Structure 1
Amino acid sequence: MDETATADAGGSGTAGADAGGSDAPAGDPVVVGEGVRKAYGDVDALDGVDLDVAAGEVFGLIGPNGAGKTTLVRALTGTTEAEGDLRVFGAPPREVDPSRIGLLPQSFDPPARLTARELVDYYGGLYDAARDTEAVLDDVGMADDADAWYETLSGGQKRRTCVATAVVNDPDLLFLDEPTTGIDPAGRRAIHRLIERLAADGTTVFLTSHAMDEVERLADRVAMLRDGRVVASGAPDRLVAEHGGAPRLDAATAGPATEETAAAVAAGVRERLGDDPSVEATDGGLRVRGVRPEAIGAAVDALDGAGVAFDSLSWSEPSLEDVYLRLTGEEYARRGGDTEETPAAAVDGGER
């Protein structure tokens, strides 16, 4: 980035966009959306979305398929029209200098008979100043496969190459729509390190992903979309504290547990800890909620006291995935009872 871009994009932003939330970022935001609306026929893809993204922060956007994430990215990058007030660097999206923006859409099919190196060279050539192609390929883990045709690459290698084309111009603001889809663990780590390095250098990153661990690791703030509306937003740890629920201890048994067994375990936990526990039977055994690490032994004694023979125990704290499931449900249906499958193509389809 040149000195002007660094000054514009530099800074740090950690905190939430909840109404009246104490996490609100300071200074003029890089991205603003107020009352953003977009409809495809009778489907409201975006239904009054409000958000802002501070300079230098990684902002995560999550939600089920068909919730409107890609439509919002397209509206903010000026690739689709939407109602409401949308500003990027203080201007309407279509008036922003394209060299300041990097975009990796959800669906991107570059020429198949170009090599990874040729593709990065081509997209770098669209700008007056671009990063060194070899350095970019190395950043995304494609240095060893740079001379392979795009059509011969694996799905993960293709996605890494696409990420390279999105960052070759050294953007001040980078939109990444599902950047690690289909990428193996090593490739994901390379992309994660790249995002962290870009943010540390002052790039503002707008990230959408279905990988909750990815968003929880990378994002300073998160907004969750459902039915085209923001239903929760804030720093990941804040969302987990507010919506994630209690820690849980899972006991895996040979078969499904009964409600009677769950009640017996609950009585044993109550006797040993004095709490009013939540114990539920699951397909794989029993789940005891609200067990802190220091109370695991007492919970195990309660299981033994109830005659529960278990194969293994696992304890976990709530995560952003628990927040996601709690606020959206494991099975997602759009308003009016339609499943997300039908409108998803219209709502979350995207092109470069």
Structure 2
Amino acid sequence: MEAVVEADDVRKTYGETIALSGASLSVESGEVFGLIGPNGAGKTTLVRALTGTTDPDDGTVRVLGESPTTVDRHRLGVLPQAFSPPDRLSARELLAYYAGLYDEARDPDAVLADVGLADAGDTWYENLSGGQKRRVCVGATLINDPDVCFLDEPTTGIDPAGRRTIWELIEDLAAGGTTVVLTTHDMAEAERLADRVGLLADGSLVAQGTPGALVREHGGSSRLTVETSADPSALEDLAFPVDACDGALVVRDVDPAEIGAVVDVLDDRGVAYTGLTWAEPDLEDVYLALADDAERARTDRIGTAAGLAKAGETA
């Protein structure tokens, strides 16, 4: 299948700051691609390059087979992180204004209903809550029924119920064939919505794949957390690895069927505990592992460069 969104070895610097150091991705029609990564990793810069609002220093970017600066803007929907429409227009008037920018657009009231604001159409934008404002901005992005959507942290500031409404909306868009590229710091959001996820760290995509594949490869083992003040030596000959962590013992590689055996050992040895929690690895574990690795590598590079510079000064 032909890619709808492509980035090949994209690089971008701002002065001495390297925002992108060779980022590459490919997104197919109807796919939801989630970009995750630490603050400053380059997510917004990559989205700006993909939407033609910033020019890469090197590399190529194509959307719908064209440069993002020449593609038909009626086919795109773009939600930036910072979006500040006029305060003294109602939610309905704002959507009607953006609808008027296109030859064909959706009915503003239908879009208000889609983003869960059917009862707030007459409220001035300045009087909406932060989460409601963000939902209006999402609606403005979808008013032209785009073929490709770029959503930069679409649910920031939205309450859990509203977030679920936006999630369902994005799922419906993808089911209808819309291609979606979104950035998020919410790992549950990425895990639910994204067909594939790319983790951007230090300006490059260090891992890409389905959430399940990334968890299997990088997420680590399952863990049974035993809330106890006991020392790990109390379970030193257990058949599973045991670590101390924040006032608890973490027993790793335990299947649900084996929890009872661990409990029997705790009881037999008189180890007092106040709670047990079993968890499988998830996308947050992947994020923490890969982002931490990238941060350590970046720190090492900076330290090496500083050491070389100092050596040069004293030579």
**Structure-1-length-normalised TM-score:** 0.82
AA matched with 1:80: T
Residue of structure 1 aligned with 2:31, choices 57, 77, 84: 57
1:298 matched residue in structure 2: 261
Q: Deviations over 1:253-305 (max 9, x none)?
A: 3x5x4xxx2132141x22xxxxxx22111113111110000000011122223
AA matched with 1:29: A
1:264 matched residue in structure 2: 234
Q: Deviations over 1:106-158 (max 9, x none)?
A: 11111111111111111111000001111100000011111111111111111
Matched, 1:248 2:218: no
Identity of aligned residues (%): 60
1:138 matched residue in structure 2: 113
Is the partner of 1:329 in helix, strand or coil? helix
Q: Would the aligned equivalents of 1:247 and 1:317 in 2 still touch at CA under 8 Å?
A: yes
Residue of structure 2 aligned with 1:239, choices 174, 191, 214: 214
Greater shift after overlay, 104-113 or 171-180?
104-113
2:53 matched residue in structure 1: 79
Is the partner of 1:95 in helix, strand or coil? coil
- Paired residues in the alignment total 301
Alpha-carbon distance between aligned partners in 2 of 1:330 and 1:282, rounded to the nearest angstrom: 20
1:41 matched residue in structure 2: 15
Q: What is the aligned-residue RMSD (CA, Å)?
A: 1.8
Q: Would the aligned equivalents of 1:113 and 1:149 in 2 still touch at CA under 8 Å?
A: yes
5+ residue gaps, structure 1: 1-26, 271-276, 340-352
Is the partner of 2:61 in helix, strand or coil? strand
The Cα shift of 1:329 comes to 2.6
Residue of structure 2 aligned with 1:278, choices 218, 233, 241: 241
2:275 matched residue in structure 1: 312
2:313 matched residue in structure 1: none
2:310 matched residue in structure 1: none
Q: Would the aligned equivalents of 2:76 and 2:149 in 1 still touch at CA under 8 Å?
A: yes
The Cα shift of 1:306 comes to 3.9
AA matched with 2:31: E
1:322 matched residue in structure 2: 285
Q: Would the aligned equivalents of 1:64 and 1:332 in 2 still touch at CA under 8 Å?
A: no
1:213 matched residue in structure 2: 188
Matched, 1:173 2:148: yes
Is the partner of 1:49 in helix, strand or coil? strand
Q: Would the aligned equivalents of 2:33 and 2:180 in 1 still touch at CA under 8 Å?
A: yes
